[in-house]
Amino acid sequence: MTDMLRAPAEVKYAEELDWLESIDDGPKPFSWRLSPKMVRLFVLGSERADGLDREISQKWFGDRSFVERSIVTLASDRGLLLIGDPGTGKSWLAELLAAAISRNSTLVVQGTAGTTEDHIKYSWNVSMVIAKGQSRASMIPSPIMTAMERGVIGRFEELTRSTSDVQDALISILSEKYISIPELDEDNIVFAQPGFSIIATANSRDRGVNDLSSALKRRFNFVRIPVVTNKKSEAEIVRFRTSELLRRHQIELDVPPNLLDILLQSFADLRAAAASATSDDEKLESALSTAEQIGVLEDAILHSTFFGDRTLRAETLAGSLVGSLARRSPEDLAILNKYWHGVVEPRSKEDGGDWPQFLEGGRQAIATLS
């Protein structure tokens, strides 16, 4: 296999999926490659009680009920909308579900202000149209149309960032399960094959950007993914994703548990401060998500590897945290400076350990950016 910067889940976990498919004797809806139980097992990992001959790694960390409800929705004729704050793992869960069910998670439309109806239906190869006229051969199907023709899962990222016209075009696809092609006289309807469904994602912070119509809401089952607040679960997610990043970069570097604890505690403190803030000016612009913690840790690891002695230190971690979270100047810097003096400084005196180095590294980073 050719090296990829980021392999899709069906490629990355192909060996696991092949093995699960070979032992799967459960009932499968439509054209699913795995039964619902095996899909859940692929996403959440195996346990000793499953009695399997090999271990299946856990890939998504969250409540089992969210995964089960998502799978049940996709086994029906309704679309699935995963909604939650940025960095809660919505897109990763959508990719894992599509990989397990269809062995293809790449039929994706990215919702933006520039997304048009053509992106979810079809467009035309202009040169072929000029040479031979409009036909199915000169048509360029969208990822959603391709998913319909193959009877697999299509994905729509950031649904609420697309305009109402684009959202309305999804209504007929989700309800009627076909796309008309009025430019053609024959073969002018594409019908969805059994197994087709759509997994869409939306950020709850985008509310008001392009709100979903009530008609479109009725055609989706909503699964709300909460922010992970349990420190143990969050630590597992950060360790899992960071180990993947280290393998991708071919870096051998240990993340000391005490530094991971400092990172988790810092984010917990900053979230608590944001929750008690009385205005947006007193909140960091960052969503303080688990994904941002992973980004801070990756930045610190790469800095330690390329410009340090290949040892992760508290000063480097503090500098990465400040550099990643200080997006507005001077507002965010003022918030971080208050946190460093009001929380980190007392903690460094009381707890010791790596906190004094973390304190000093943060102070230097704030002073540099001020």
pLDDT at 228: 77
Q: In this predicted model, what pLDDT tens digit does every residue of 86-100 receive, in sequence order?
A: 878 899 999 999 999
Residue 207: per-residue pLDDT: 57
Question: What is the rounded average pLDDT of the residues 43-67?
Answer: 90
For residue 168, pLDDT over 70 is answered with yes
Residue 108's pLDDT band (cuts 50, 70, 90): very high
* Total Cβ atoms within 10 A of residue 143: 18
Q: State the CB neighbour count (10 A cutoff) for residue 131.
A: 9
Rounded Cα distance between 315 and 326, Å, is: 16
Q: Which residues, in sequence order, are CB contacts of 104 under 8 Å at separation 6+?
A: 10, 98, 150, 152, 153
Pairing of strands 153-157, 189-191: unpaired
Cα separation, 215 vs 230, in Å, equals 36
Q: Of 226, 282, 290, 274, whose CA–CA distance to 83 is shortest?
A: 226
Percentage of the chain lying above the pLDDT 90 cut: 60
- The token pair that represents 272 in the structure block: 């608590």
Tokens of 119: 């992106």
Q: Phi then psi for 13, rounded to 5 degrees?
A: -115, 30
Task: Give the burial class of 39: count Cβ atoms within 10 A of its Cβ; 0-12 exposed, 13-18 middle, 19 or more buried.
Answer: buried
Q: Cβ atoms within 10 A of the Cβ of 52, count?
A: 14
> Cα(262)–Cα(258) distance, rounded to whole angstroms?
6
Higher pLDDT residue, 146 or 86? 146
Q: What is the pLDDT of residue 182?
A: 93
Residues 11-34 have pLDDT tens digits of 999 999 999 999 999 999 999 999
pLDDT of residue 359 exceeding 80, the answer is yes
> How confident is the model over 178-221, as pLDDT tens digits?
999 999 988 899 999 999 999 999 987 665 456 788 888 889 99
pTM over 0.95: no
Per-residue confidence (pLDDT) for residue 2, from 0 to 100: 53
Q: What integer pLDDT is reported at residue 1 of this predicted model?
A: 46
pLDDT level of residue 346 (50, 70, 90 thresholds): very high
Both tokens of residue 296?
């801070």
Read off φ and ψ for residue 66, nearest 5 degrees: -65, -40
pLDDT band at 4 (very low <50, low <70, confident <90, very high): confident
- Determine the Cα–Cα distance for residues 135 and 48; give it in Å rounded to an integer: 55
- pLDDT for position 366: 93
Average pLDDT for residues 119-125, to the nearest whole number? Answer: 94
Tally of residues, the chain:
370
Token pair for 174: 């989700």
Average pLDDT, the chain: 90
Report CA torsion sign: 291, 105, 200, 183: positive
For 279, phi and psi rounded to 5 degrees?
Answer: -150, 165
Q: Which residues have a Cβ under 8 Å from the Cβ of 222 and sit 6 or more positions away?
A: 81, 83
Q: In the structure, what pLDDT confidence band is assigned to residue 336 with cuts at 50, 70 and 90? A: very high
**Confidence band, pLDDT 50/70/90 cuts, at residue 67:** very high
Q: How many CB atoms lie within 10 A of CB 179?
A: 22
If you average pLDDT over residues 220-224, what whole number do you get? 93
> Do the bridges between strand 197-203 and strand 153-157 make them parallel or antiparallel, or are there none, so unpaired?
parallel
